[in-house]
Amino acid sequence: MKKEFKSGFAAIIGMPNVGKSTLLNTIAGQKIAIISDKPQTTRNKILAVCTTDSEQIIFTDTPGIHNPRNKLGQFMVKAANDAINDTDVLVFMTDASRPVRDAERSILNSIENRGVPCILALNKIDLIKKEELLPLIADYSSMYNFAAIVPMSAENGDGTEELLNEIREHLDFGPAYFDEDTVTDQPERQIAAEIIREKMLWLLDKEVPHGAAIEITKVEEKAKITNIHAVIYCEKNTHKGIIIGKNGEMLKKIGSMARADIEKMLGKKAYLELWVKVKPDWRNSDFMIRNFGFSNE
């Protein structure tokens, strides 16, 4: 490492479904955060570590800030707010293909006096016309004194290097917090569980996947294959039936899609066995929330 080494934390905040997890995966160069077109996909704080010869940036992907309807939702919002309070620079991500929302104005008002520099990442610019960009920048600039504004597309990587350069400007000289080959703080078991939940978000509608939690109950490492056993918990018997599907077809599809991504992560073959169990109203149970690994402590 060079003597003049910079390090620090950058929290990615914003409304649900604006592309925070996509940006995290692009920076990491692999899937560490799940993605879907449904809000509140990310439940926990996830770190992605970007290390070069001259700096280490630890990115925090936070749950989208929203009005919580249960204890799990309260946990998610607290996780996002805690990340804001414990960072060197904020990256406020928005969806450029949508008009400015009142909730975004509210978020900007809430961070105004935090004393932390905030960079506006205008994501999904590939979905709008060039002439629409300047008025949007002007609108956001009138609401907040951003340290920088970076138009980008997290999905195809456009603007990512510009964003990294702007973040570097706000880092102090300091030590590396992680080994240089560390990509994320998420253990493989947790990523595997989230991959399973991602496929449920893709394949199932509305409340069913949002009421689900995944527990990896057993992992057997063998020379050429990893055996993974997992339980999908849902809140209602009707949801269990939907997840399993007719003749078990939906559960097979979830498992097949999840296994493909898990094999990419592990770099080897995987066997995935899924079971479905009912835990009524687990999202309002402090014990169950902690049991599934959601903790603000």
CATH number reported for the structural domain that contains residue 253 in this entry: 3.30.300.20
Asked whether residue 1 is domain-assigned, the answer is no
Q: What is the mean pLDDT of residues 47-55?
A: 88
Would the pLDDT of 92 be above 80?
yes
Kindly state whether residues 143 and 26 are assigned to the same domain: yes
Q: Per the domain annotation, does 183 fall within a domain?
A: no
- Residues 108 and 164 grouped into a single domain: yes
Q: Is residue 297 part of a domain?
A: no
Q: Is residue 181 part of a domain?
A: no
Q: Which stretches of the chain are assigned E, i.e. beta strand?
A: 6-13, 46-51, 55-61, 89-95, 118-123, 148-151, 172-173, 213-221, 225-234, 269-278
The domain boundary residue, chosen from 173, 207, 232 = 173
* Joined tokens for residue 203: 């394949």
Going by C-alpha positions, the residue among 125, 165, 123, 119 that lies closest to residue 145 is: 119
| pLDDT at 76 (0 to 100) | 56
Domain assignment present for residue 77? The answer is yes
242-273 pLDDT per residue, tens: 999 999 999 999 999 999 999 988 889 999 99
Indicate if the pLDDT at residue 44 is higher than 90.
no
Domains in the chain, number: 2
Predicted confidence at residue 39, as pLDDT, reads 46
Q: Which of 143, 173, 203 is the last residue of a domain?
A: 173
Distances (CA, A) of 221 to 136, 184, 191, 228: 51, 21, 16, 9
Is pLDDT at 18 greater than 70 in this prediction? yes
Report yes or no on 180 lying in a domain: no
Strand partners, 216: 230
- Cα dist from 182 to 80, 90, 178, 192, 221, whole Å: 23, 22, 6, 18, 21
Q: Identify whether residues 194 and 168 lie together within a single domain.
A: no
29 and 120 together in one domain: yes
Tell me if residue 134 falls in helix, strand or coil: helix
193 shares a domain with 131:
no
Instruction: Examine the domain organization and report whether 160 and 252 are in the same domain.
Output: no
* Beta-carbon count within 10 A of 156 CB: 11
To the nearest whole number, what is the mean pLDDT of the chain? 84
- Among the residue ranges 95-99, 106-110, 207-211, the one predicted with the least confidence is 207-211
* Whether residue 160 is found in the same domain as residue 108: yes
Examine the fold and report which residue of 134, 150, 173 is the final residue of a domain before the chain moves on. Answer: 173
**126 inside domain:** yes
Residue 65 has pLDDT above 60, yes or no: no
Determine the pLDDT at residue 1: 43
For every residue of 266-296, DSSP letters joined together read: HTSEEEEEEEEEE-TTGGG-HHHHHHTT---
Is there a domain that residue 227 lies in? yes
pLDDT of residue 40: 47
Close Cβ partners of 54 (under 8 Å, ≥ 6 residues apart) = 2, 4, 5, 6
**Per-residue pLDDT band at 35 (split at 50, 70, 90):** low
What tokens does 91 get? 């990256």
Give the span between the Cα atoms of 223 and 205, in whole angstroms.
38
145 and 52 housed in the same domain: yes
Where helices occur in 184-285 by DSSP H, the ranges are 188-203, 207-210, 237-244, 249-266
Q: Which of 220, 210, 203, 211 is nearest to 270 (CA)?
A: 220
Q: How far is CA 42 from CA 80, 141, 151, in A?
A: 10, 28, 23
Residues 140 and 201 grouped into a single domain: no
Is 108 in a helix, a strand, or coil? helix
Residues 5, 55 contacting (CB under 8 angstroms) = yes
User: Residue 129: what are its φ and ψ, rounded to 5°?
Assistant: -80, 150
Question: Is the separation of the CB atoms in 25 and 3 below 8 Å?
Answer: no
CB of 43 closer than 8 Å to CB of 80:
no
Residues 163, 229, single domain; the answer is no
Do 54 and 148 lie in one domain? The reply is: yes
CATH number at residue 31: 3.40.50.300
More confident site: 124 or 113: 124
Q: Does 53 share its domain with 125?
A: yes
- Cα–Cα separations (whole angstroms), residue 153 to 43, 50, 161, 178: 23, 18, 11, 27
Q: Which residues contact 213 (CB under 8 A, 6 or more apart)?
A: 197, 232, 233, 279, 282, 288, 292
Which pair of tokens denotes residue 189? Answer: 């078991």
The whole-number pLDDT of residue 260 equals 95
What letter would DSSP give residue 4?
S
Looking at residue 70, its amino acid is: N
- Please give the residue range of the domain that contains residue 103: 6-173
